[in-house]
């Protein structure tokens, strides 16, 4: 068992004390920089400003032709407002609606997307806007990364999970039948724009699933943020803006800090995969249907914390505290009942493999994490049962 560099364990400032500035009609907007030299951009967080986002995208990207990639419910509720802002700046917009759900992230749908780009007359000066959750962010972003060897794209996430995780950092990709995100590219967006008002249309289950990634960020990086978030879980799920906006700002800030220090997942960025080893196995066994990514991650985090305690990385009580918070968020915490060999088979194609071992993210206690290079049998020891 080989241990690697650990990080985290810091006590962050109260998220509600972050800097902000007024936008139209007196609403607050907060900006989180993602510092990547010439690829730098900002995550801009506001409320009820989707039409303004459209105008800002045109000004930021400098293109007059956009492919707006989205899914049916988002296309109905939010795409017309965003499109109105884009057209107000003289842009031509082709709306492309793809099926909802993680099963859409496949090579067949990717090929269809390229055809739609060609039908729309897209060229190297055109840009892609991903409007929706992590699925359209990953699929639309990967299409942008590879179409004509790469064109600009922008993220406008409308789910909690996409806002705090999938939209930031430039990871794009699709699934293969044998595993999740096995084909992809790093392609940084030109900007990320969050309108927290879009979260009102999310069903409760989607809100809870998104909280998994927010809790994960606190659990691996910022014990102070975890302390702040712990008593506010229910308020976040009610979308209380006094909680949602500062929580999203800090969650995005954690992701931005990590990405700025390790853009291409050479070491530190692997910490963001806390809970994802088992989660991806669960999703693969379900054929990417029936379980949301955040739900699988919640199960994977409790499992990872349990193994962290058993292997001597985390102090006793880490798993129970994390499990309690996730359950209050309405998330599952126990893996589906499948044979150990089935989980071992799925883990064997984990994209974090190095030879015959896997970079498994372990907890060092709330707010601290590290990676450990483990054999699959160390992750899932003999006698382990789901």
Coil vs helix vs strand at 262? coil
Q: Do 227 and 367 contact (CB within 8 A), yes or no?
A: no
- What are the tokens at 83? 């499109």
Active site residue 338: no
Q: How many domains does the chain have?
A: 2
261 a catalytic residue:
no
Out of 116, 250, 269, 368, which one is annotated catalytic? Answer: 269
Query: Residue 131 carries which DSSP code?
Result: E
What's 163's DSSP letter? I
Distance separating the N- and C-terminal Cα atoms of the chain: 23
Picking from 202, 235, 252, the residue at the C-terminal end of a domain is 202
**Active site includes 3?**
no
Domain assignment present for residue 236? The answer is: yes
Give the pLDDT of residue 22: 40
* Residue located via tokens 């930031």: 168
Selection from 84, 89, 86, 92 nearest residue 65 by Cα: 92
Active-site residue, selected from the candidate residues 44, 249, 257, 265: 265
| Residue 324 within a domain | yes
Q: What is the pLDDT of residue 19?
A: 46
Catalytic residue, from 30, 273, 295, 364: name it. Answer: 273
Share of the chain above pLDDT 90, in %: 81
Please answer whether residues 379 and 346 qualify as being in contact, where contact means their C-beta atoms are separated by less than 8 angstroms.
no
Do 67 and 189 lie in a common domain?
yes
pLDDT value at residue 297: 97
Residue 293 is among the residues annotated as catalytic for this protein? yes
- Tell whether 108 is covered by a domain: yes
**Claim to verify: residue 228 and residue 366 sit in the same structural domain:** yes
Of 44, 213, 263, 323, the catalytic one is 213
211 found inside a domain = no
Radius of gyration of the chain (CA): 20
| Phi, psi (degrees; rounded to nearest 5) at 360 | -95, 130
Question: Which residue, of 147, 177, 202, is where some domain finishes?
Answer: 202
Structure tokens that stand for 324 in this block: 């309690």
294 band by pLDDT with thresholds 50, 70 and 90:
very high
Verify that 101 and 193 share a domain, yes or no: yes
What CATH number did the domain enclosing 68 receive? 3.40.50.1970
Structure tokens at 274: 């806390």
Same-domain status, 180 and 269: no
- Same-domain check for residues 328 and 220: yes
pLDDT at residue 1, rounded to an integer: 55
Contacts of 324 (CB under 8 A, 6+ apart): none
Domain assignment present for 281:
yes
Is 105 a catalytic site residue?
no
* Residue 145 and residue 57 in one domain: yes
Helices 276-285 and 293-310 pack at an angle, to 10 degrees, of 130
* 130 phi, psi to nearest 5 deg: -95, 115
Q: Please indicate, yes or no, whether residues 2 and 65 belong to a single structural domain of this protein.
A: no
Residue 41's domain spans which residues?
35-202
- The pLDDT value recorded for residue 16 is 62
State mean pLDDT over 380-386.
Answer: 88
**Which of the following is catalytic: 6, 255, 319, 364?**
255
Annotation says 149 is catalytic: yes
The string of pLDDT tens digits covering residues 138-176 is 999 999 999 999 999 999 999 999 999 999 999 999 999
- To the query of whether residue 205 is one of the catalytic residues in this protein, the response is no
Kindly report the three-state secondary structure assignment for every residue of 77-125: HCHHHHHHHHHHCCCEEEEEECCCCHHHCCHHHHHHHHHHHHHCCCCCC
Residue-wise pLDDT tens digits, 224-261: 999 999 999 999 999 999 999 999 999 999 999 999 99
**pLDDT, tens digit, 9 for 90 and up, residues 179-230:** 888 999 999 999 999 999 999 999 999 999 999 999 999 999 999 999 999 9
CATH of the domain at 386: 1.20.1090.10
pLDDT for the residue numbered 9 = 52
171 is known as an active-site residue = yes
Residue 8 in tokens? 């985290």
State the catalytic residue, choosing from 171, 250, 307, 359.
Answer: 171
213 part of the active site? yes
Q: What is the crossing angle of helices 50-61 and 79-88, to 10°?
A: 50
The answer to the question of residue 209 being in a domain is no
Residue 142 lies in a domain: yes
Q: Determine whether 60 is an active site residue.
A: no
Whether residues 144 and 286 share a domain: the answer is no
Cα–Cα distance for residue pair 4/326, rounded to 1 Å:
27
């Amino acid at each position: 068992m080989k241990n690697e560099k650990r990080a985290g364990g810091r006590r962050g400032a109260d998220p509600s004390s972050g800097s902000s500035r007024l936008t139209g009609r007196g609403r607050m907007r907060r900006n989180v920089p993602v510092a990547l030299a010439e690829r730098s951009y900002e995550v801009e967080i506001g409320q009820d400003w989707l039409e303004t986002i459209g105008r800002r995208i045109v000004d930021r990207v400098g293109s007059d032709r956009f492919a707006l990639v989205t899914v049916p419910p988002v296309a109905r509720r939010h795409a017309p407002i965003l499109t109105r802002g884009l057209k107000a700046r003289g842009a031509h917009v082709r709306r492309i609606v793809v099926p909802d759900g993680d099963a859409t992230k496949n090579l067949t749908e990717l090929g269809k997307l390229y055809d739609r780009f060609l039908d729309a007359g897209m060229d190297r000066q055109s840009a892609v806007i991903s409007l929706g959750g992590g699925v359209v962010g990953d699929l639309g972003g990967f299409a942008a990364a590879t179409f004509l060897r790469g064109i600009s794209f922008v993220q406008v996430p409308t789910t909690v999970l996409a806002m705090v995780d999938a939209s930031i950092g430039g990871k794009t990709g699709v699934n293969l039948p044998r595993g999740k995100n096995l084909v992809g590219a790093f392609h940084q967006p030109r900007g990320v724009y969050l309108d927290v008002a879009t979260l009102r249309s999310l069903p409760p289950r989607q809100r809870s699933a998104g909280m998994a990634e927010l809790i994960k960020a606190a659990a691996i990086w910022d014990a102070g943020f975890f302390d702040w978030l712990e008593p506010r879980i229910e308020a976040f799920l009610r979308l209380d803006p006094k909680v949602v906006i500062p929580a999203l700002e800090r969650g995005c800030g954690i992701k931005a800090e990590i990405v700025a220090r390790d853009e291409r997942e050479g070491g530190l960025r692997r910490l963001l995969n806390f809970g994802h080893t088992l989660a991806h196995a669960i999703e693969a066994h379900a054929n990417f249907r029936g379980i949301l990514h955040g739900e699988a991650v919640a199960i994977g985090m409790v499992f990872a914390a349990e193994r962290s305690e058993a292997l001597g990385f985390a102090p006793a009580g880490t798993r129970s505290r994390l499990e309690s918070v996730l359950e209050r968020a309405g998330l599952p915490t126990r893996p589906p009942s499948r044979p150990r060999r089935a989980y071992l088979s799925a883990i064997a194609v984990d994209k974090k493999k190095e030879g015959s071992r896997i970079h498994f993210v372990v907890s060092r206690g709330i707010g601290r994490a590290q990676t450990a290079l483990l054999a699959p049998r160390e992750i899932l020891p003999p006698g382990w049962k789901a």
